[in-house]
Amino acid sequence: MGKEAYSIGANTFAFFTRNPRGGRAKDVDPEDVAAFRAFAVEHSFATLVAHAPYTLNAAAKDSRVAEFARETFADDLKRMEATPGQLYNFHPGAHVGQGPDVGVEKIAAVLNEVLEPGQTTMVLLETMAGKGTEVGRTFEELAAIIDRVKLDGRLGVCLDTCHIWDGGYDIVDDLDGVLDEFDRVIGIERLRAVHLNDSKNPLGAHKDRHEKIGQGHIGFEALSALTRHPALRRLPLILETPTELDGYADEIARLREAWR
């Protein structure tokens, strides 16, 4: 993964801790980890952003689904310590008709069970588009979860540009206003990573359909400005655009070019 990222001009990457649809994870191979860590130092890699499986729903109504979330979360966090000090991002969950308040309580309860005082991994709640019954579509919902977690020093937020745009936050015409609101509601120091995506849909659509950088409703200018914003420019920026390896290489090159 490190070599592939390096080959397209990246100095960070996201990876799934297991099959994104869930299931058992491969055992950690200590040799592979050691080789990666040496490569990352040699090529000045930044912090990595692991992604939890999509099927993990900490807000689930069904107790088996909730149990899977707890077990997967705990197992992933143990495995993440093989590469200390990285980020682990997850979709807060879907309340499936129980209401956002119940969703918030359940997600916080899972976090209170799985976070360990000694862990070096930061757990990030991802901002969501508000599709279906997703929890985390407003900064207030994320703040409510964080407020209920005891070891909140291990918690942060990953800002997905497609999701907050679809959620109604205007990062095209008022990026400063959106970040001020983030700071007021959550605290800007919680912002630890960005998923950099364009959106196939207009502001507030609540759809969550990612688009290639510059080909959607957010556009290249706004996304590029975001990567250069003082509050964001030092964070790991992860592309989740619907493209292939050469497409990512091109997006990275264009964004880097605008950075200079």
- Residues in contact with Zn ion by the rule CB under 5 A: 208
Catalytic annotation on 208?
yes
Residue nearest to Fe ion (CB): 195
Catalytic annotation on 160?
yes
Contact 59, 95 (CB under 8 A): yes
Q: Which is nearer to Zn ion, 78 or 206 (CB)?
A: 206
Give residue 59's identity as a one-letter amino acid code. Answer: A
Beta strand ranges found along the chain (DSSP E): 14-16, 49-51, 87-90, 93-94, 122-126, 134-135, 155-160, 191-196, 198-199, 210-211, 237-239
Catalytic annotation on 210?
yes
Per CB under 5 A, contacts with Fe ion among 136-165 are 160
208's contact among Zn ion, Fe ion, none, with CB below 5 to 8 A by partner kind, is: Zn ion
Residue 68 tokens read as 């899977």
195's contact among Zn ion, Fe ion, none, with CB below 5 to 8 A by partner kind, is: Fe ion
Catalytic annotation on 43?
no
CA triplet 225, 226, 228: central angle to 5 degrees? 65
Cα distance between residue 224 and residue 14, in whole Å: 20
Q: Which is nearer to Zn ion, 76 or 208 (CB)?
A: 208
Q: Which is nearer to Zn ion, 134 or 149 (CB)?
A: 134
Catalytic annotation on 206?
no
The closest alpha carbon to 5, from 46, 34, 38, 33, belongs to 46
Active centre residues (catalytic):
21, 51, 54, 91, 126, 160, 163, 195, 208, 210, 240
Binding region for Fe ion (CB under 5 A): 126, 160, 195, 240
